[in-house]
Amino acid sequence: MSTFVKHEKPGKRGTLLALFLGALWAVFLGVTWYAYRNSEGDGGGFLNFIGRFHVLFVHFPIGIIFLALIMEFLSYFTAFSHLRKSIPFVLWLGFLTSIAATVMGYLLMQVEGFAGKAVDLHMYYGLAVVVFTLLALVFCLKGIRSIYSLSLLGAAFTTAASGHFGGAMVHEADYLTEHAPEQLKPMLLVGLAHHEEPTAEGEGTGEEAEEVPLGERVVYNEFVVPILEAKCNECHNENKIKGKLRMDTFDLLMAGAEGSDYPTVEPGNAFDSELIVRVTLDPDDDEFMPPKGEPLTEEETKLLTYWIDAGAKKELTVAELGEDPEIESTALAVAAIHAESQEEAADIAVATYESVWDTLSPEEQEQRMADVLSAAEKYHFSVMPISAEDERLRVNVINAAKEFGDEQLKLLEPVADQVIWLDLARSQITDEGLKTVGKMRGLERLHLENTKVTDSGIAQLKGLTDLEYLNLYSTEVGNGIFETFTTLPNLKKVYLWQTKADPAEARAFERSVNLEINTGAELASAQPEAAEPEKEEEKPAPKPEEKKPEEKKTEPKKPEAKKPEAKTAPAKPAPKKEEKKTETKPAPPKPEAKTEAKKPEPKADAKKSKQDTPPAPKKETTQPKKADTPPPKKADAPKPDTPPAPAKEQTEEKKKA
């Protein structure tokens, strides 16, 4: 083995090589900085491809450097003293992988334009990892153990710090401290900016905020800031600045991206504002924002547009955005989206629902009602209050279902907040019309049966937190509606007969929530069982319908024939066989005579019926015989409702004979 492995002490070559690689690394970083110092961080290209491998290589030096520290500690014990010979090799691995990780990370930062406190601290500590690892390697090769040990400790500390600030950059500044003890939080937040959402002066949160009428709420603080925090500030805050743009404060948002020719927000002109342009691009476009995560909803985009067109001032209220009734419903939808819980969303909906209509002057309320009533008269649909005490509205379009469509439904928007019950069954509305329904925030009952609505249309109802009843019978909806149902906290009953929704899926969803879903599956499975006895009772009925008097005569015979059953039971079986054989012959008079003997009262009627309709008695005589024959076999439980079934069997046997 000694012929293959040559043991020798580390020489100067290793030290010089390490120093040469360190110098080359520093030069490369300097050149990269100079090349991209004025870059706007547009990204793209081969260097961007290389830079994104940073997230992979950054984990190698972390593990290797801490491994070297552990080996150094154990080497002081006799049992692990042999590990000291392997430490230089481990340090070489740590040094090379840290160079690779920092080069890729620096490329990524420069090419994609990342900046901010967390980014800067992550970068500085990452560069320090390379420096301390290089020092530890050089002094280890030189055999200067005191400086080597301090350098190794410095490498481990800077590695941990770089990882901490990298986590704060990827997540939020308080990600690590969220569940930490209060005593540790100040230390873990050193160097990081902890952003708190601004609130307007004199306004509270929670119950206090809900008491403020919707029209008096400050748009920026209560609506714009939550949108930016949820969808934009992850990459545009003090700790992480992408594209040289910060959006975490009003002043920085209005200032826009540093060096950009396009304003982020141009007051009075949402169309030319880069904020609106980017969020309305095709999601496949490279410049679409946000590039990751949930995009802005339609309501969020609309509210930002209203705010910018109205001047984008920090003190603007909802009432100052314009007179369009859609503004109020849009603001309410955004408030519900960013509520911390479904219960809070429901409370907001109730509070703002009451305030929307109340903020209008009595004259404006009367004018809106007059316009809607005029439209109702023109298109023949019904608009009326719920009761004499409740002025909220109930709308029914049953008399105009053939002509009532999306355009007619829009006529209800001026009083959308007042509509509580809405019946659109059999109308011509589509998914487009359900956008109008989604503005009726106080809606409790909704009929959509026999319409063309689909899952995408039902998704427009997510803001209806008061909705309790929904009828979707014979529509085009499928399993996608169950996701929408999770956003309707007060929904209690849904009808899904003759839809594309899977009954099994509906039952599984029904068990997970407090909701009754009727798919008609239970009724369909029960119908065949209930249909069989109905057929048995209905089939014999049409035959004697033509001769009702004869039926009345035979009905009293059946109960009376049961009384003497014990006396006549032994004598009846013999004539039955004879009758079956002689059915085609003039045998009917014999059984009639027997029945006449038992019942003297209806004799005359029986004779008349024989003379008038000779063939009829054949059916009549067979029925009493059948009623008489079962009791001897089942004397314990005579059932007066069962005769029709044996009658059919015997008549079929007779036909076969």
Say if residue 415 is in the same domain as residue 498. yes
* 162 within a domain of the structure (yes/no): yes
Instruction: Report the alpha-carbon distance of residue 95 to residue 482 in Å, rounded.
Output: 54
What confidence score (pLDDT) does residue 464 get?
A: 87
Assign 69 a pLDDT band (cuts: 50, 70, 90). very high
Cis omega before residue 10 (within 30°)?
no
**Based on the structure, what is the number of domains in the chain?**
3
The residues, ordered by sequence, that sit 6+ positions from 487 with a Cβ below 8 Å of its Cβ are: 342, 462
Residue 545 reports pLDDT greater than 50? no
Residue 562 reports pLDDT greater than 70? no
* 580 within a domain of the structure (yes/no): no
> How does pLDDT run across 201-240, given as a tens digit for each residue?
434 444 444 467 777 889 999 899 989 888 887 777 776 7
Say if residue 143 is in the same domain as residue 243. no
More confident: 153 or 293: 153
More confident: 105 or 579: 105
CB count, 10 Å around CB of 371?
13
What confidence score (pLDDT) does residue 163 get?
A: 84
Say if residue 122 is in the same domain as residue 242. no
Cα angle 372-374-375, degrees, rounded to a multiple of 5: 65
* 644 within a domain of the structure (yes/no): no
Say if residue 294 is in the same domain as residue 365. no
Say if residue 340 is in the same domain as residue 396. no
Amino acid identity at 288? F
Average pLDDT of 265-294? Answer: 87
Instruction: Report the alpha-carbon distance of residue 417 to residue 396 in Å, rounded.
Output: 16
Alpha carbon 540 to its chain's center: 54
* 574 within a domain of the structure (yes/no): no
**Average pLDDT over all residues of the chain:** 75
* 558 within a domain of the structure (yes/no): no
The residues, ordered by sequence, that sit 6+ positions from 464 with a Cβ below 8 Å of its Cβ are: 437, 438, 440, 441, 443, 446, 488
Q: Which of 416, 414, 473 is nearest to 449 (CA)?
A: 473
Say if residue 340 is in the same domain as residue 395. no
CATH number of the domain enclosing 393? 3.80.10.10
Say if pTM beats, i.e. exceeds, 0.75: no
Cα angle 401-373-394, degrees, rounded to a multiple of 5: 65
Say if residue 371 is in the same domain as residue 475. yes
End-of-domain residue from the set 292, 326, 356: 356
What confidence score (pLDDT) does residue 187 get?
A: 72
End-of-domain residue from the set 461, 493, 524: 524
Residue 648 reports pLDDT greater than 70? no
Residue 115 reports pLDDT greater than 50? yes
At 495 the three-state DSSP class reads: strand
What confidence score (pLDDT) does residue 624 get?
A: 43
What confidence score (pLDDT) does residue 360 get?
A: 74
More confident: 602 or 18: 18
**Which structural domain range is residue 125 located in?**
12-176
Average pLDDT of 125-151? Answer: 91
What confidence score (pLDDT) does residue 41 get?
A: 57
CA distances from 459 to 482, 514, 519 (A): 10, 19, 19
Say if residue 60 is in the same domain as residue 81. yes
Residue 152 reports pLDDT greater than 90? yes
Residue 484 reports pLDDT greater than 70? yes
The tokens for 61 are 């030096």
Assign 548 a pLDDT band (cuts: 50, 70, 90). very low
Instruction: Report the alpha-carbon distance of residue 268 to residue 266 in Å, rounded.
Output: 6
What confidence score (pLDDT) does residue 329 get?
A: 73
Say if residue 380 is in the same domain as residue 488. yes
Instruction: Report the alpha-carbon distance of residue 258 to residue 246 in Å, rounded.
Output: 9
Amino acid identity at 621? T
φ, ψ at 322 (rounded to 5°): 145, 175
What confidence score (pLDDT) does residue 406 get?
A: 93
Amino acid identity at 361? S
Say if residue 337 is in the same domain as residue 386. no
Residue 251 reports pLDDT greater than 80? yes
Instruction: Report the alpha-carbon distance of residue 533 to residue 530 in Å, rounded.
Output: 6
Say if residue 324 is in the same domain as residue 367. no
* 514 within a domain of the structure (yes/no): yes
Say if residue 166 is in the same domain as residue 32. yes
Beta bridge partners of 382: 396
* 581 within a domain of the structure (yes/no): no
More confident: 655 or 503: 503
Percent above pLDDT 90 for the chain: 26
The tokens for 11 are 């020489």
Residue 338 reports pLDDT greater than 50? yes
Average pLDDT of 600-620? Answer: 44
What confidence score (pLDDT) does residue 95 get?
A: 93
Strands 382-385 and 393-396: antiparallel
More confident: 635 or 459: 459
Strands 469-471 and 493-495: parallel
Assign 174 a pLDDT band (cuts: 50, 70, 90). low
* 566 within a domain of the structure (yes/no): no
Residue 106 reports pLDDT greater than 50? yes
Percent above pLDDT 70 for the chain: 67
Average pLDDT of 549-572? Answer: 43
> How does pLDDT run across 369-418, given as a tens digit for each residue?
999 999 999 999 999 999 888 888 999 999 999 999 999 999 998 888 88
Cα angle 71-74-77, degrees, rounded to a multiple of 5: 145
